[in-house]
Structure formats: structure tokens, C-alpha cells
Amino acid sequence: MGFKVGLLGLGTVGTGTVEILQNREGRNSLLQEIEIYRVGVRSLNKQRLVSLPSEIMTTDLEAIVTDPEIDIVVEVMGGLEPARSLMLKAIAHGKHIVTANKAAIARYGDEIFTAAEKAGVYVLLEAAVGGGIPVIQPLKQSLGVNRIHSITGIVNGTTNYILTRMQTEGGEFADILADAQQLGYAEADPTADVDGFDAADKIAILASLAFGGRIKLQDVSCEGIRQVSAVDIAYAEKLGFAIKLLAVAKRPETASNEALDPEMLQVSVQPTLVPLIHPLASVGGVYNAILVEGEPIGQVMFFGPGAGSGPTASAVVSDILNIAAVLKTAGTTHQLHPLLSCSHQHYCRIAPISEVVTRFYARFLTKDRPGVIGNLGTCFGNHNVSLESVVQAGFFGELAEIVVVTQDVRTGNVRQALNEIRTLEAVESIPSILQVL
Amino acid sequence: MGFKVGLLGLGTVGTGTVEILQNREGRNSLLQEIEIYRVGVRSLNKQRLVSLPSEIMTTDLEAIVTDPEIDIVVEVMGGLEPARSLMLKAIAHGKHIVTANKAAIARYGDEIFTAAEKAGVYVLLEAAVGGGIPVIQPLKQSLGVNRIHSITGIVNGTTNYILTRMQTEGGEFADILADAQQLGYAEADPTADVDGFDAADKIAILASLAFGGRIKLQDVSCEGIRQVSAVDIAYAEKLGFAIKLLAVAKRPETASNEALDPEMLQVSVQPTLVPLIHPLASVGGVYNAILVEGEPIGQVMFFGPGAGSGPTASAVVSDILNIAAVLKTAGTTHQLHPLLSCSHQHYCRIAPISEVVTRFYARFLTKDRPGVIGNLGTCFGNHNVSLESVVQAGFFGELAEIVVVTQDVRTGNVRQALNEIRTLEAVESIPSILQVL
């Protein structure tokens, strides 16, 4: 046996990882050199879906990360602590790390990668974004020769499942969320998913890889899907769009906003109207997809299962295998593989959300009388917001429902215009404001 | 400068490669260690889109592949010879190879990889399939822990462009081919593309990587798109399908064909009806996409530009970078990276096409009289072919047009049934027989 793995956690992903490592036939032959050496769990008595020798099971996770025999620590326990401390201790003991923990990496990537760099070990995290979809490694190894312009992802399966069902069934968010919870597609506490925090963790990680700098999570503008209603989905479809929760990291479009530093990044998560002919529009259900745009490659998209035991375990084990392969190649040298290690140490500067230039969709409830559309148009014009279309779309009780789509405009300008519109006597409310891709 | 590159060919892809290597800002910093050391061309006097020092240009390609200073030979000249001989000579002189040459690899991969293994050098070929789409490296490095069940690809941009236009415009193959030739989307001699040979080269390469054995190109069953007519595309759409030229490599479905060895592979290229909700159905124009199915990952798809100077050069340069990264890591050791080198030496056994189990679409022109559908049904039944639907779809002059979709059936049985049907007095002709995904 060549490489000894210490596994932290035997939940969904850990179980899937063991299943692959215990059933090697028909898979890459390098798996034969990987040994599950110790497995750390919370309780030794729990019924398990995989059978492991009892002598390798332990509740002493510290003993795993400090065990001199172990080469690679696989952290699939999730959560912030003790995952962070265990990873740091493992690194300090010269272990390579494979992790699926997007939350910990998005928050503590800074200290984890700095420690790894110092210790000369790898921290691989293919499973942290997009479940089984190979996207981290392609970003590091295949796409790095490009100048990346943008990454646009559907990276949260729960919200995509809810939005897809809202679209096909015409149902409301709250009802479909409740059903999704019953079916196991959403957690009992759905906040991390439906409020966009999980997607924010993931886009912070992707942006960091694609743009070669670290990202402070608090700089990621984040909005979930609670405000998306069946009415918006129906109007969007009529206008030729699907509504998706998009996680986006991109260089600003300097042409339309020359004052903005081209080195600044825009990183955000928000429900967005996606043209039906766009490759991301047809990504349905729990599937994830990540679209990368760069020069000279143009557009490439990675599509697949964004979660689940098997797919996520596929990503975890591929990372284990990649570390094993590099270690075999390196022999006794201690030079880290420059495309697999993380060497950047500066932080990306993030443009304030008010500077982001994009199109917007907004829905207004107004009194039903002449001149209202004119009033709206004037307010937008006052703040330099050009409109693509203004449609009185229907009625909501006594009120008229007006749907506006803007041209590419500065977000700050739109916000100012909307603030002015809210003061108009004829305007009852602005139930939704969504970005348009 | 760390690594010296000798470039064979300065056509579309070679030019794109030089453009990336000459404009490093904003790309992976490892590019700074790559030097374009010599460039081999056919004519020194030709006008070029990139400017290179005249002293590194040469028409003596042999001198490049034998130059002791050169670390990596990049073969982007295309064609079988002298590309094959130059690659073999470069390998014999200890050079690593990066190539975009699917035709040479599909035909001579055997001797090229055997030579490379012996010499201890890498032969990387990301650019050979799917242009800029990272698919070769993900197959080798990220998906190898899976048991691959199938690879299904739209891997030829020219035919996908033609079929997409036939679908959106309702035009006939010959007219759109002629237009595509004028626009530069199809070659003056379109055979390699429209008859499926280019796709056959690519699926042979993908199958070899995914299933870990070499593939004899003559074992790949290959059919192009010349027989696809506007009528078929229209009927397919009515039935809920788009017609795509699919390149497929898969393990046989043993459940429906127990006699067949599960170790056998089916490798083929043919126009196929793809359900409109399938991820491959919406891949339009010159785009390529490769769908990989395996256990435990499920389905993952890679989508992007399948050709073009920039995208293909992105793949070429990423291979150069990957070799440079591994060489830096390996130092003076001579152990090849086990996931990047090609070690399999056996040939995959390929199932005869008659044993392939799939659904079929067939269109018949028959005399317009009662009992014809019954006759067709009886012939199919005689050969154990179950039908999903039989529809008299319309008229073609005096003749009735009947469209049949079968259930999953053995190809050999369908062929026998069709041979019997051809003998029926009421049947004028069978203008199309297409697979159904």
C-alpha cells in the first residue's frame, strides 16, 4: 500500500468515499495504492452503510490528524469547527488535505492555504463546488492560460430545484420549499441555501481560483430567492427568460463604466433572468452548471450533479488520487506542483455593488390611471437609467402591474431611481427587482 | 527561461498558441517559464499574423525534433505524415509531445504511446477532442475513479452547425452544406466532417481514455449526416427530438442483451434522435459537448467551442503548462505522473454493430392503401422488434409516408426486419433509418 488516508467524518460524503475506495474494480488502478488507514466518527456505535474494520474507527479526530503514518487527511465532516482546527493541525503535521468543506474554505481559506504553503502540502477541494462536476481542477490546470472574464454558476441544487419546480408547476416559493423539505431536497433550516449563502461560499472559492486572488466573503453581495414569486417567473417566461439563482464573478465591463478600475472584481449571488437560449437556462432540478468565459477560449460550461453522496465522493477520491499521483512523480523532491498548490496571497479588490453594470427587471404595483408609466420613465431618466421595455402586464386586484426591463445600467443609479419611484403617490409597491443576464 | 518549446506548424492553431505565449499578462504565471525556442514552417516567406524572430523560424522540422535544447515538441501541423514520423523521432530524442492531431493519434496512438512509455515522456492531446473544452484531462484526472458507462459526444462542429441550421431553417443538407462552405464553416472537401470520420477519430480517443484500452479505428462503426433530410428533422421535432450527429462509446446494456460480454465496448458515430429535454439536444451551432456517464458520478457534461484558433490554442498551451508543472515537481526523478501518462497496452474488444441494442427511427415511403402498416408491423414482429409508435405521417406525392419508432432492440434484428420489409410490394423505399437516444 502506497498512501494512507485518514478520513474525518463518515456521513453522506464519507460513506460514498469509502464505497469507491472499497470497490476498486473497473476504476483507475492507482486506487490500489490508497489505503483507508483510520476513520474518525462522532459515535462508534452508529449503524453504517459501509463495513469497516472496527480497529480503524475512532472518535479521537486529533489522533488522526497527528498520526505520523497518515499521508492524506480527508475532511468530510463539514461545519466550521472543529473542521478548521483539524485541517490546520493536519497541515502542521505535514498531511495533505482533501476537503469538501466550502464553508470552511470560503471563510478560512486564507489561513489554511498560507499554512499549507508553508508546510509544503496540498489542499485540494474539488468536492467543495459543484459536487461531482470537475471544475476546480479544470480551472487550475486547463483554463489558467486564459484571461478569465467571468464565471457564472448555478451552484446550489436546492434553490435550482425550487426555481425549476416553480417554473414548471407555477407554484409559489413557500409551498414548494415546504414540499422540497419533505422530499429531502431542502434542509429543515433552509437559510444557507435559499438565502444564497452556500452559493456565496462557492463563488468566492471559484473567483479566487479564476482570478488569482483571495476573496473576503463579506465582500460578496448576496441575495436569495425568497422574493421570487410565481408571477415573476411567469412574466419572465413571457419575456423569454428563466429565473435562476446565479453566482457571478466577473471583471467589470469597462466600456460601459470607464471610471471603474479594470482590476476590480464583481462577485455576487442573486436571482437573475437568464435568456431561454442561454446554456444555463436549461439547467434544471438539482443539477449544477458553471460557465467560464475567457480569452481566447470563449465560453465553456461544466454541467452535472451538484450534490449527493456518489458524485461528491467521486470528486473527493479524484483529489486523493491526484495527490497520490503527484507524490509518486515527485519522489523525494519537495517542490509542490505549481498548478495544484495555491500561491497567491493578495486579496482581490471587489467593486461595490452600486458600481455593477447590468440589466434589471422590476415589477411595480401602481394605481390604475393614466400617466403612471410616464412618471416611472421620468424617474428612471432622472437617474440616467435607460429602459428596454415598459409593459403594463396585468392587474393585481385594483392595482396595475407594470414590468420594466432596463438596459445595461449602473446598479447605484437604479437604486436611486427606485428610491425616487417609491415616493410617487401612484406607486403602491415594488414587489421584485431582479438582475437580467 | 525554464522550458523550451519547439513548435511544428504555424497555421490556425500554431498562431493561436504563439499569441497566448507572447501575451502572458493576466494568465497563469507559469507561462513565464515557457520559451518559444524554434518554430517549424513550410515556407519562411509567408505573411504571418504573429511576429517571431526570424532566427527561430526554420523549414527543417527534423532539426527541431532532434534539437537537444528543446524540452517539449508541440505538433500542430496536422495530417498523418510527416506528423507521425516527427512525433516518433521527437519521442526517441526524449521530447515530451503536445499535439492537436486527432487523426494521427486515432491511427497511430498505439505506436506513439508505446514509444512514449519506453522513452519516459508525456504525450498530451487535450486539443485533439473538443477544441478548447477541457475533457481529456478531466477524464484522466477527475473521472478515472468512476466506472464509466458511456461517453456521448457532439464532437464535430461542422455537422452540428449544418444540423442546427437544418433544424432552425428547415433547409436541405446539400444547400446548407454549400452555404457553410462559402461561410468557412465547412471545408471544400467536407468528407471528413459530414461522413463522420473526424467524429470517429475523436470518439476512438475518448473511448480509449475512458475505458482504459486502445481502440482500432476500423472497429468504429461510422455513419455521417448525408442521409438526414429536412423531412426527418421536422418529424423528429414533432416526436420531441432533435437530430444530432452523436459519437458514442459505451458498455453494452447487458440487461437487454445477456448474451453479450459486458467487457465489450460499443463505439459508433451516427445521426441520432435526441430527446429535446436531453442536455445534448440544446447544443447548437459549432459548439461541442461531451456527456460522460459513470458510477457513482451520474451524468456530467462538458460544453464549449469545439474548434477555432483561440480555443484550440488554449488547450495546447494548457498541456504545455501541465508538462512544465509536472517536470518542475519531479525534479530529477524519472517517474512519469501515472494519471498523465498512458500505460494501457491492450485493445478493447468492440461489439459488432449488429449486437448494439438501441431504439430506431425509420421512415418508409409506401403505396397508400389499407394494410400496409399491418404488413410493416408483422415484418418487425417476425424479427423480434417491438415498436413504440407507427404513424402515417403524411404524403409524398402519391405515396404514404410512415414513421416508425422502435423500442430498445438489437440492431441486427432491425436490419433483418428492414431487409424483409424492402421485399414488400407495397413498400417503395426506406429513405431514413436513424438511431434514437
Are A56 and A144 members of one domain? no
pLDDT at A355: 87
Is B62 a known ligand-binding residue? no
- Nearest CA-CA distance, residue B178 and chain A, Å: 27
Q: Terminal CA-to-CA distance of chain A, rounded, Å?
A: 51
Closest by Cβ to A298, choosing from B144, B295, B305: B305
The 10s digit of each residue's pLDDT in A228-243 is 999 999 999 999 999 9
Asked if residue B321 and residue B245 are part of one domain, the reply reads no
Residue B261: predicted pLDDT: 67
Q: Is residue B235 part of a domain?
A: yes
- Contact yes or no for A322 and B141 at CB 8 A: yes
Which of the residues in chain B have pLDDT under 70?
1, 253-262, 333, 343
Hey, of A300, A334, A340, which one would you mutate to test binding to chain B, going by the most B CBs within 10 A of its CB?
Answer: A300
What pLDDT, on a 0 to 100 scale, did the predictor assign at position B262?
64
> What is residue B334's predicted lDDT score, i.e. its pLDDT?
73
Check whether residue A155 and residue A265 sit in a common domain: yes
Question: Which residue of B25, B142, B292 is the best one to mutate when testing the A interface, meaning the one whose CB has the most A CBs within 10 A?
Answer: B142
Is A11 annotated to bind ligand?
A: yes
- The average pLDDT across A270-275 equals 97
Is B132 within 8 Å of chain A by CB? Answer: yes
Are β-strands B96-99 and B241-250 bridged in parallel, bridged antiparallel, or unpaired?
Answer: unpaired
To the question of whether residue A331 is assigned a binding role by annotation, the answer is: no
Distance in angstroms (rounded) separating the CA atoms of residues B65 and B71: 10
A303 with B300: Cβ contact below 8 A? yes
Q: What local confidence, expressed as pLDDT, does residue B355 receive?
A: 87
Catalytic one of B89, B95, B202, B244: B202
The pLDDT of residue A263 is: 72
A-chain CB neighbours of B30 within 8 Å are 144, 338-339
Q: Is the pLDDT reported for residue A397 higher than 70?
A: yes
In the structure, what pLDDT confidence band is assigned to residue A260 with cuts at 50, 70 and 90? low
Q: Which residues fall within 8 angstroms of residue B408, CB to CB, at 6 or more apart?
A: B253, B256, B357, B358, B359
Domain presence at residue B335: no
Helix (H) or strand (E) holding A260: none
CATH number at residue A422: 3.30.70.260
Residues B140 and B260 in one domain: yes
The 10s digit of each residue's pLDDT in A50-69 is 999 999 999 999 999 999 99
What is the per-residue pLDDT across A184-212, written as a single tens digit (0 to 9) for each?
Answer: 899 999 999 999 999 999 999 999 999 98
Residue B335 is classified by DSSP as P
CB-CB neighbors (< 8 A) of B27 in chain A: 144-147
Q: Is the ipTM of this complex over 0.95?
A: no
A239 and A118 assigned to the same domain: no
Contacts of B315 in chain A (CB under 8 A): 142
CB contact under 8 A, A314 and B137: no
> Looking at CA atoms only, how far is residue A379 from chain B in angstroms?
40
Question: What does the pLDDT read at residue A135?
Answer: 96
Q: Residue A387 above 90 pLDDT?
A: yes
Q: Is residue B339 part of a domain?
A: no
> Is A95 annotated as contributing to ligand binding?
no
* Number of A–B residue contacts, CB under 8 Å: 209
Is B254 found in the same domain as B219? yes
Cis ω before A279 (30° cut-off from 0): no
Is any Cβ of chain B less than 8 angstroms from the Cβ of A429?
Answer: no
Cα separation of A109 and B424, whole Å?
72
Q: Closest Cα of chain A to B412: distance in Å?
A: 29
On whether residue A335 sits in a domain, the answer given is no
* Nearest-neighbour CA in chain B from A139: distance (Å): 9
> In angstroms, what separates the C-alpha of A132 from chain B's closest C-alpha?
6
The pLDDT score that the predictor gives to residue B347 is: 86
> Stretch A5-33: mean pLDDT, rounded?
96
Question: Which CATH number fits the domain that encloses residue A266?
Answer: 3.30.360.10
The total of other beta-carbon atoms located within 10 Å of residue A113's CB is: 20
CA atoms within 13 A on the CB side of A51: 0
Which residues are CB-contacts of B181 (< 8 A; sequence separation ≥ 6)?
B187, B188, B190
CA gap B288, B246 in Å, rounded: 10
Average pLDDT, chain A: 93
**Residue A329 and residue B314: Cβ atoms within 8 Å?**
no
Q: How many domains does chain A fold into? A: 3
Q: For residue A333, which residues of chain B lie inside 8 Å, CB to CB?
A: 329-333
In a domain, A343, yes or no: no
For residue A119, give the C-alpha cell. Answer: 508546510
Question: What CATH number is attached to the domain comprising B74?
Answer: 3.40.50.720
List B57's β-bridge partners, or say none. Answer: B39
- Decide if A341 touches B, using CB distance below 8 A: no
Q: Determine whether the annotation assigns residue B26 to a binding site.
A: no
| Tens-digit pLDDT profile for residues B208-239 | 999 988 899 999 999 999 999 999 999 999 99
Q: Looking at the structure, do residues A151 and A248 belong to the same domain, yes or no?
A: yes
Chain B residues whose beta carbon lies within 8 Å of the beta carbon of residue A309 = 296
**CB nearest A305 (choices: B31, B298, B325):** B298
Average pLDDT over residues A32-43: 96
pLDDT score at B320: 98
C-alpha to C-alpha distance for A153 and A247, rounded to whole angstroms: 5
Higher pLDDT, B333 or A150: A150
Would residue B346 count as lying in a domain?
A: no
Answer yes or no: is B177 a known binding residue.
Answer: no
- B148 and B126 assigned to the same domain: no
Residue A120 lies in a domain: yes
Q: Confidence class of residue A335 from pLDDT cuts 50, 70 and 90?
A: confident
Say if B333 is an interface residue toward chain A (CB within 8 Å). yes
State whether residue A314 sits within 8 Å of chain B by CB.
yes
| A267 and A412 share one domain | no
B285 and B319: one domain? no
What's the order of all strands across the beta sheet hosting B3-8? B57-58, B34-40, B3-8, B72-75, B96-99, B123-124
Mutate to test the interface with A, among B287, B314, B320, B333 (most CBs of A within 10 A): B314
Rounded (10°) CA dihedral B4, B10, B13, B14? 10
Domain that holds residue B191: 136-304
Strands B96-99 and B72-75, bridge-based pairing: parallel
pLDDT at A255 over 60: no
Cell reading at A147: 484571461
Please give the pLDDT value at position A157: 95
Taking the model in full, what pTM does it have?
Answer: 0.94
Could you tell me if B56 and B148 lie in one domain?
Answer: no
**CA distance to partner chain A, nearest, from residue B117 (Å):** 14
CA nearest to A20 within chain B: B145
DSSP state of A337: P
Q: Are residues B289 and B424 in the same domain?
A: no
Q: Is residue A346 part of a domain?
A: no
Contact of A139 with A233, CB cutoff 8 Å? no
Residues in a beta bridge with B436:
B273, B359
- pLDDT value, residue A119: 95
B9 is an annotated ligand-binding site residue: yes
